Structure 1
Amino acid sequence: MSEAPGSRRPHSLVTRLLIAQVAPLALFAVVVLAVGAWTAHRVVAETADRLLAGALQTIRETVSVADGKVTVDVAPWTLGLLDGPERDAVFYSVREGGRLITGYEELPRLPDASSDAPIFADLSVRGVPVRMAQQTLTIPGRPAPVTVSVAQSLDSRRASLLDLYRSLLLPPTLLVLLAALLIWPALKWGLNSLKRLIDDLTRRPGPRADFAPADIDLAPREFQPVLTAFNHLLARLEASTSGVQRFAADASHQLRTPLSVVAANLDLLAGAPRTWTVRERRLIDDSRDAVAGMTRLVGQLLSTARADGARIKSSADLGRAARRAFQMAKARRSAPNGALRLRLPAEAVVVLGAEDLIAEQILNLIDNAFHHGAPPVFVHVRTTGAVCVWDHGPGVDEAALPRLTDRFFRAAPSQASGSGLGLAIVRTLAEAQGGQFGLSNRSGGRSGLVGRLTFQPSAEE
């Protein structure tokens, strides 16, 4: 089929990149880099091992027997082969069986050591990484073989390797940089035709407009099959959203019910009229804690799935939601009197949102305060449509504050016991209800973390 007059087929992106001839140059540079690095490492390692073996042989040749005893004459120049510009640390030892004749006790005997040829091993001596060569020597009439070991730190090896890298790998590096400089203008040239497609997608006004198909004529030919598949996906995405909501409800029933049964059975087992051993009691307690944690995690994950697609337009009593969260928090934790405190205004505060979701947000903030802070924990509802929850713990490092609402992020992973979802759910639910959520450390020299939820006033107020 011929093209319509005045129409213009988009240029091929692959053709433009091939014209630039960047790929062969970059591939050649990478191969040269890899071969050069491998060659340099092998040459330095083999040369240093030969020097180490030479020093070992020098010591072996001084081993002799005098007056029925094994003697060794290690002259100062014996280890001169290992002198290098970095002044490496050198260790040696001579043993007859398990008895040290001379040298350093820290050098171990390798199980594969023999008299045929030296063997090499990487280890640490006195906190210094070393390369050790070891070989045995059999002396007629002696009950055990003599083991000679020489070890050298790795400073000179590393310095020599660095010098080789600088001299051998500089040309390939320049080739890679040249390839990078060529790729950038080539990509800008090839992807310039996508600008109209990007502008079309970013100009879409509302959330429902995002499901409209993209214009495949705005992209290069190589992208047209991708955009066709993408348009088919968009056509089915809106319908699948309701399926996700139904799945969340079904998963809530299917997951929470068996966990509740297991928790109830463990409670009955713990209260059974028999004497449990310490180990059995610990296993039961660990199982109950695990079930409780899994139940909470399931609830958090389901709340996250529900919040991702939620757009709340109803009205809620902020004080009543805070009271519900306060009562739920007291019911499921054994805290002393005064550890959790609630402040409510005299009049009702009606805001835009769902009361059960607001209660869950406040409950998550209370749990976070008890898990990572310290009591007393305060819940304060303000007439301006805001809820503040703060504790008296150490607070959080300022650099970590912006990431606390990321899913599965923990400021101190080694000490955290939660799932890392609580604050992420609070933020997601706040956005779904048109509100805002912020975290800050208490000011004025006071310790503790403050979580602040701000909601829009309801039209029914």
Structure 2
Amino acid sequence: MKTPGESSSLTTRLVVAMAGPLLALALVLGLGGAWLIHGVVQRSGDRILAGSVGAIAETVALEDGELTLDLPPAAFGMLENSERDNVYYAIRHEGRLITGYPELAFPPEPPERDTVAFRDETFRGQPVRVAAVSRRIPRLKEPVVVQVAETLEARRALQARMVFGLALLEAALILGAALTARPALRWGLKPLARARASVEAKARAAPVELSPLPLASVPTELRPFVEAVNALLSRLEESTARMRRFTGDASHQMRTPLAVLRTHLALALREDATEQERHTALSEVRDATLSLERLLTQLLTLARAEERGALPALQRVDLNGLAAQVTADFVPQALRADVEVQFEGHEPELPIRADPVLVREVAGNLLDNAIRYHRRGGQVTVRVTSRDGAPWLEIEDDGPGIPREQRESVFQRFHRLPRDQSQSGSGLGLPIVRSLAQHMEAEVVLRDGTGGAGLTAAVRFQPWNER
């Protein structure tokens, strides 16, 4: 039994969706067909009735001042049928009955000359169809009115046969549609089955195949769905590639600090190790642990930065205030490294369109690099400024700088300058900065410091526009 909310098969849903309109259409066609059949039967019977009354009217004449009439057998013969309908007639002049059935009432309004008028009446307890015609006779002031009435059994029988035939045709149509609907829908849904088979084949493949589904033979109605699946496959491929890259990077970069940990732990555990050797080994273990912690933190930060759609919406951020907070947070590190840090703010505040957490991460990584790779006694300036309507965050140092030909390479993962190999670090700081900046539609550039000495790392943010 289906649980609430569980969807039925697509074929069943389409059959049910088609059944309602099809039955409604059959009902409309049946009612419309019955109305048309009634009209056709009525007009056919009226033509015969008009011929009969016309044939009788042609025989009316005036002889020796008296109206004469010769009822032709053909006038009533044409009204004969298998249902044996009764036929009545009446001929009147100036309201006076000449011949016929006196109970057949005079028409409420005399018909126009040579025009047959039809009406429905009840005669002797039976419904009848009456045809009346006025005939002008020379030397008579008033016309002669001829009426012929016929019961409706033949008309009803013919109409019933035609409606029954129409009902049989509609029933055959509905039955045929019911028998062919499912096979036709299955044939029409074959492209969907092929798409499902393609997805299942990718799921069974080892390793999992995430290439896009082919669009060449996909129908127009199914193309948006397949394109959406391809977009999902593309994102899964990117996510899988990031995961493989993360695990590969982590295993590669963690190998050295782990080796250091194993070596110095083994040294500290040696029974013949001196107290000084144990102290040195434990200091090295501490440094390796800190290096490993920083490496894992930066790897996770880079993985989150590269994850599309995982970041919050951009908002109004005071670049001046946030940069001042980050500068204050790094003062202890700068004091330990004997590096002077200065802050040059912007007045008034400088609002940008960004995310405060990401801006803090960008500023922190740039400031950490400036302090970490600087000489003792150096100087770092954190500057917030505005140029050409764009807000900038600049971190300038008077250290060795980065050669111009190397400034693009340092944005690659784990790339480090040859001179910095002895320094602690992972080579992930600038890649993290660029990735986070791109999420905020910001731009990171490296240029010479003031006077051509040192390096300035500058980030151009999007200004906040009040809407």
Is the shorter-chain TM-score for this pair beyond 0.5, marking a shared fold?
no
Higher relative contact order (CA 8 A, sep 6+): 1
TM-score range, shorter chain: 0.3 to 0.5
- Structure 1 or 2, whichever has the larger Rg, is 2
TM-score by length of 1: 0.41
TM-score by length of 2: 0.40
